[in-house]
Chains A and B, each alone.
Chain A
Amino acid sequence: MSATATVAATAGSAADRPAGGGLVVALLLPIALVNLVGFLLPVFNLALISLQEVQASGAMTGGWSTAKWVSVVTDDFYWELLWNTIRTSLGITLATLLVSYPIALYLHRSSGLWRSVLLVMVISPLLLSAVVRTYGWIAILSDQGVVNSVLKAFGAAEPWRLMFNLTGVTIGLTEILMPYMILALVAGFGRLDPRAEEAAATLGASPFRVFRRIVLPLSVPGIALGSLLTFVLAVSSFITPKLLGGGRVFLLATEVYDQAIVTLDWPLAATLSMIVLVVFGIAIAVYGRLVRSIG
């Protein structure tokens, strides 16, 4: 038996054997500890804060209360806030998917140096902070910005209100979340085999039919992953809605910020944060179900 074959046989037999319980624990322990200290304990602490009593001044002087949970559940405003957040984030996710899909598909089909150049172009916006990119959008979308200047040159009497409203938030977040969507789509395009497309075309399918029957179904895993990532990031972003929303767009994340930093109502901020976590949980559950259903 050659040396290579011996190594292969040894590796094969090791892989076939179930790993020892001790080794599994040892390998899982570091990440479990990191998660415990960095995620579970803070979340537990957040849940505790949501049950603390708070004075009008914002002081938390001990004592427990379910008042914030009761007010969140019974006040229409917070239901509207939740609905607004989900609706807006779904809209942004859809917009991001629509503009990212063709880019991701092109990227998937490109090769060599051109593919590397394209990948760098996709990733490079992530090197800039979202704050800077949002200010960039302010320069583009404001009344005296690039878009309105062009419209004015074409004879528009009044500037279009492109920011300080939901339109601005949607435009800004869509662009900011595009790299995440594109990278997730490209990662999920693994099953997309060009030979299947060629076979369909050979058998007489039109390009649109090839796209609808072959490309789109095979890219569902990428679409699901990208949509989950984008939705979660859209629900939790607060800087862009703060800067581009003009105080008119009420979302869970911006309300958490206002309650924690401006109004100093930490228990209410913690309660809303727990609700954001529930929304994430539901999104991940829906994603899991979708992935299982497509095998």
Chain B
Amino acid sequence: MDRRHFAKTVLAFACGLAAVPASAAETVTLMAYTGLFQDRYTQAVLAPFEKANPDIKVVFAPQPTSGAMIGQLRAQKAAPQVDVVIMDVSVAKAGTDEGLFVKLEAKDLPVIDELYPNARIPEIAGVAVTFDNLVLIYNTEAWPTAPKSIADMATPAVKGKVVIPGIPDIQGMSLVAILDKKNGGPGVEGKFAKGIEAMEAIAPNVQTWEPKPEVYAPVIAGQASIGVGWNARAQVNTDTSGGKMKAVIPAEGTAFQINTINLVQGAPQSAAARKFIAYALSAEAQKSFTETMFYAPTNAKAQIAPAAIDRTVVKSLDKVVPIDWLAVAKVRDQVAEAWRRKVIPLSR
């Protein structure tokens, strides 16, 4: 091979390499919760999206919590590696305030007009993609008849058998907010004092305020008999445990946990990311994910199968205690202090 021929060959090979990225699939990086969420979301939303859009590949970048996600986003602010993030609404507020996200608007993403009004949160750049709610979870062997009320966690029969993810976890905070409302407390204005007071009756029965890896495992194993958790994960755990654990909305009420979907400012694949967000919010994807993991849909047009909708909060909206998480954040430190001073010592 002479020198000129060799140079031509190298040039052709280099051009060929350069052409590969243009013809290959675009890769959207989605950051969201690890574990059950990752498995079910990949199956219910990512797989059909990639099938319908063969030119886009979605890579799932799992993180254990929303707090860990925002840590990643802050570290990558100068050169983001992530395009789309699904995270809790209160953490998304911090991300919005720090300019980490692009405001999603209906003029660019018409699907936003299909969402329930409470899925559009003015202070947040993204929009709600799932609604979840607090439930009582119980071991079905220990409770042949399902418990009905949060007060069931205060009875002597369950001493040392109660598991509650305590404050600062928002499950503990939701429980306090529900009890505050039930006992006539004013909520944020009263720093949830009535809710804290009501927790004092439950505290002596609590086995752990830090159930790990999640609250469901000890209830399934029978190490605990009752506790509080999130509905979606509870429903999936009900199925995977063969009914050893079940969930019920307590008589005192329930509270929403909202996950938002957000477009990262400076996202490497902005156009493809918007396409993915539009799909994630569509009636089709919302139906699929609700039927797979029992989060309530945020798209009002999603036609959910009755068997699945009965296992979400949709038919019990009257029981939802409204919590303004952005307002709660302002009194969080005082509530946490009351929790440490008044509730924890009673559980020792």
| A contacts, CB < 8 Å to B | 55-61, 77, 142-144, 159, 161, 164-165, 242-243, 245-248, 250, 258, 260-264
Size range of the chain B interface in the assembly: 20 to 34
The answer to whether B98 touches A247, judged by C-beta atoms less than 8 angstroms apart, is no
10 residue pairs from A and B, CB less than 8 Å apart: A56-B332, A61-B98, A77-B337, A243-B212, A246-B210, A250-B340, A258-B168, A262-B168, A262-B169, A264-B67
Q: Is B97 an interface residue (CB 8 A)?
A: yes
Closest 9 A-B residue pairs measured CB to CB? Answer: A247-B209, A59-B97, A246-B208, A261-B67, A58-B94, A247-B210, A59-B94, A56-B329, A56-B330
The answer to whether A263 touches B94, judged by C-beta atoms less than 8 angstroms apart, is no
Q: Which of A58, A77, A243 has the most CB of B within 10 A?
A: A58
Q: Is B160 an interface residue (CB 8 A)?
A: yes
Report the separation of the CA atoms of residues A45 and B43 in the bound assembly, to the nearest whole angstrom: 41
Q: A164-B207, A242-B210, A247-B210 are in contact. Are A58 and B166 (CB under 8 A)?
A: no
The answer to whether B67 touches A248, judged by C-beta atoms less than 8 angstroms apart, is no
Q: Which of B68, B96, B212 has the most CB of A within 10 A?
A: B212
Report the separation of the CA atoms of residues A56 and B209 in the bound assembly, to the nearest whole angstrom: 24
Which chain B positions have C-beta within 8 A of A143? Answer: 160, 207, 223
Which chain B positions have C-beta within 8 A of A56? Answer: 326, 329-330, 332
| Nearest CB in chain A to that of B70: its residue | A264
Give min CB distance, B74 to chain A, whole Å. Answer: 8
| Nearest CB in chain A to that of B100: its residue | A59
Q: Which of A77, A142, A143, A246 has the most CB of B within 10 A?
A: A246
Report the separation of the CA atoms of residues A59 and B67 in the bound assembly, to the nearest whole angstrom: 11
The answer to whether A165 touches B98, judged by C-beta atoms less than 8 angstroms apart, is no
The answer to whether A57 touches B329, judged by C-beta atoms less than 8 angstroms apart, is yes
| Nearest CB in chain B to that of A257: its residue | B67
The answer to whether A58 touches B348, judged by C-beta atoms less than 8 angstroms apart, is no
> Which residues of B from 137 to 181 have beta carbons under 8 Å from A?
160, 166, 168-169
Report the separation of the CA atoms of residues A248 and B167 in the bound assembly, to the nearest whole angstrom: 11
The answer to whether B67 touches A260, judged by C-beta atoms less than 8 angstroms apart, is yes
Which chain B positions have C-beta within 8 A of A243? Answer: 210, 212
Give min CB distance, B153 to chain A, whole Å. Answer: 15
Report the separation of the CA atoms of residues A60 and B330 in the bound assembly, to the nearest whole angstrom: 15
The answer to whether A165 touches B168, judged by C-beta atoms less than 8 angstroms apart, is no
> Which residues of B from 182 to 225 have beta carbons under 8 Å from A?
207-210, 212, 222-223
Q: A55-B97, A57-B97 are in contact. Are A246 and B330 (CB under 8 A)?
A: no
The answer to whether A248 touches B326, judged by C-beta atoms less than 8 angstroms apart, is no
Report the separation of the CA atoms of residues A165 and B166 in the bound assembly, to the nearest whole angstrom: 15
Which chain A positions have C-beta within 8 A of B336? Answer: 263
The answer to whether A248 touches B347, judged by C-beta atoms less than 8 angstroms apart, is yes
Which chain A positions have C-beta within 8 A of B337? Answer: 77
Q: Is B30 an interface residue (CB 8 A)?
A: no
Q: Is B90 an interface residue (CB 8 A)?
A: yes
| Nearest CB in chain A to that of B95: its residue | A59
Report the separation of the CA atoms of residues A270 and B98 in the bound assembly, to the nearest whole angstrom: 19
Q: A57-B326, A77-B340, A247-B344 are in contact. Are A264 and B94 (CB under 8 A)?
A: yes
